[in-house]
Structure 1
Amino acid sequence: MEKEDLRVKKTKRSIEESFMTLFYHYNFEQITVKGITEEAEIGRKTFYLHYLDKYDLVDSIVKKAFTELEVICERKKGLGH
């Protein structure tokens, strides 16, 4: 498995955190790519290098959360809980 560049990881984390910050304050429909990029202090081109649109971003966030939950569940199985 190829390691992701540290700059890419930081950029994606910033985009995801910016989306979540906006999501706590606004409805999903009100959130725009422009708003996300302003919150993350990145250019729109940078956003589109990593995601197709805000729906793709949300899909990525949800997949990551489910993967983390799966890991937690597997660890608990191993501990006999």
Structure 2
Amino acid sequence: MRTASRRTFWQIWRLPLALGLASAAGLAAALIGDGAWDAASWALLGLPAAVCGLGCWPSKSTACVGDKGPDGYKRE
């Protein structure tokens, strides 16, 4: 079993705060103008969606491979 490691405030909240700031900047860019501002707002507002989508993508270390179950035991 893994032991729990203690994390600081910034280690926990840096990504959510960065995504929140990107969203706020994207909303502000959408209100400021057209053209390049629209492209900036699309990119900034799409960033949190892309990060959340990557978080849902299964990693190789947790994927079930072959005939082994999720906890590593061979299925009979």
**TM-score with structure 1 length normalisation?**
0.32
**TM-score with structure 2 length normalisation?**
0.34
Structure label with greater radius of gyration = 2
Q: Identify which of structures 1 and 2 has the higher relative contact order when contacts are C-alpha pairs closer than 8 Å and 6+ apart.
A: 1
Structure showing the higher helix proportion among its residues:
1
